[in-house]
Structure 1
């Protein structure tokens, strides 16, 4: 579903934020992307979703090139950034309807999806309020709902659990499992290793822009905790 092939990205001064990154996320995977702050996680994710251009390599989503076929990729991808930037002059329901309009979702389907997820995240009563009045956690919930409206084939999340309360965190994990059971691929960054260990079937560790370990959770941990595997790879 997601293929990253020899992807590299340099910033001014020649510093490589991503250095020949290669990994594959298949349908049904919950793939964790872990590393220290500044390791290259967000840079890679922003390139995957078409927000950031890149210097070398290729990124394919369901066989479509992010560079050459951006609209085809965006139709089947949903992206939840670590700090959602929503239209704060709109109400929650106006924003969700706006996103549904962008993806040409029918009135019936959007109503069902919005009701389902707003109830799950317990924000139904606040959807008539202006987004400017929302807390960070509420904005995160609206961003999550907006990402799920069009049933994406690829769900990309950057530190998705930051700012969510424990119940919302549990709800999002359940939704991720449910989506993967239907064949969606989930690719998300995190530095919370115990969350990744319990949630993911595959993991890649990135350090200073390079993938230093990748594989199934069983392959990486081999009877140890993910934290131990991460520290061993990080110190290797």
Structure 2
């Protein structure tokens, strides 16, 4: 933190300034190395996220049924499933946004619900259907995200500059977030999730509405983060993306984990998409739509 704070204090305008912006070429790595519980012992990384017996229902609807997950430090872990399968509900409980009916969740050895403040210090979150303070500019949103995490002003501004450069948001920082496109909103929200250099990133559909060029850039940022010892758990409908970038995957259907493990273990001798379709109930034959073949004109 000391190295960060020593950098110039005017790189990104704070809420009441209009100063210039210095753009570095890459995101800086944290000044404090990721050690301790995340260190690899005996060639096996420790468990960073441990989910056991997780259950959640809304009225008569069972959203999550006895979910068990184990995500090790330094993993790029994907969660896939059909719409309404319970992915968002599971991630919301892992991050402390939604209380489970039963079960336990530990992140970096801390019980999320017994000690939520300590647990949330280690987590960066990009939630589904995110709501932002969109009457702030991008620079102001990043600034407040950083100071609310306890970072010093100079550190926040330096990291904001790095993140803006990495996500291609330099020209948008002084505009209201309300005026951002859907893809830009997703990127500024991801930047806010990363500004405090968390050990764990929990991302719900991080590539939704993001253009292909930006998606490649974001993927590279996340891969470098994982290579440095960070842990990413994300949900996505993009099977090609999950198969390409993730090292582990869990398939959730109707609130239950039907398969989990390395990509190769889960997909077997077929593609991940074929394995997913098979577990989700197979392909549906479209019948009764013959009228669609008789054009109205």
Instruction: Give the Cα separation in 1 of the matches to 2:198 and 2:149.
Output: 11
TM-score (norm 2): 0.77
* Contact in 1 for aligned 2:135/2:176 (Cα 8 Å): yes
Q: Pick the structure with more helix per residue.
A: 1
In structure 2, the partner of 1:109 is 155
Is the aligned partner of 1:138 residue 2:178?
A: no
The count of corresponding residues between Structure 1 and Structure 2 is 235
Question: What is the SS of the residue equivalent to 1:114?
Answer: helix
Which stretches in structure 2 are left out of the alignment for 5+ residues? Answer: 1-47, 283-297
In structure 1, the partner of 2:50 is 3
Instruction: Give the Cα separation in 2 of the matches to 1:227 and 1:132.
Output: 36
In structure 2, the partner of 1:151 is 197
Is the aligned partner of 1:40 residue 2:95?
A: no
* Contact in 2 for aligned 1:84/1:139 (Cα 8 Å): no
Which stretches in structure 1 are left out of the alignment for 5+ residues? Answer: none
Question: What is the SS of the residue equivalent to 1:129?
Answer: coil
Between 1:52-61 and 1:121-130, the stretch displaced more is 121-130
Instruction: Give the Cα separation in 2 of the matches to 1:172 and 1:83.
Output: 19
Instruction: Give the Cα separation in 2 of the matches to 1:34 and 1:11.
Output: 21
* Contact in 1 for aligned 2:52/2:105 (Cα 8 Å): yes
* Contact in 1 for aligned 2:251/2:258 (Cα 8 Å): yes
User: Structure 2 matches for 1:1-236, cutoff 5 A?
Assistant: 1-13=48-60, 15-235=61-281
Instruction: Give the Cα separation in 2 of the matches to 1:9 and 1:210.
Output: 11
* Contact in 1 for aligned 2:143/2:157 (Cα 8 Å): no
Measure how far apart 1:127 and its partner are: 0.6
* Contact in 2 for aligned 1:82/1:162 (Cα 8 Å): no
TM-score (norm 1): 0.96
Measure how far apart 1:235 and its partner are: 3.4
Question: What is the SS of the residue equivalent to 2:219?
Answer: helix
Instruction: Give the Cα separation in 2 of the matches to 1:151 and 1:137.
Output: 22
Instruction: Give the Cα separation in 1 of the matches to 2:56 and 2:240.
Output: 29
Measure how far apart 1:121 and its partner are: 1.8
Between 1:154-163 and 1:124-133, the stretch displaced more is 124-133
* Contact in 2 for aligned 1:50/1:66 (Cα 8 Å): yes
Deviations 1:83-119 (A, max 9, x none): 3211111111111110110112233432332112211
Instruction: Give the Cα separation in 1 of the matches to 2:100 and 2:134.
Output: 30
* Contact in 2 for aligned 1:40/1:208 (Cα 8 Å): yes
Deviations 1:165-200 (A, max 9, x none): 111111111111111111111110111111100011
Supply the RMSD in Å over aligned alpha carbons.
1.3
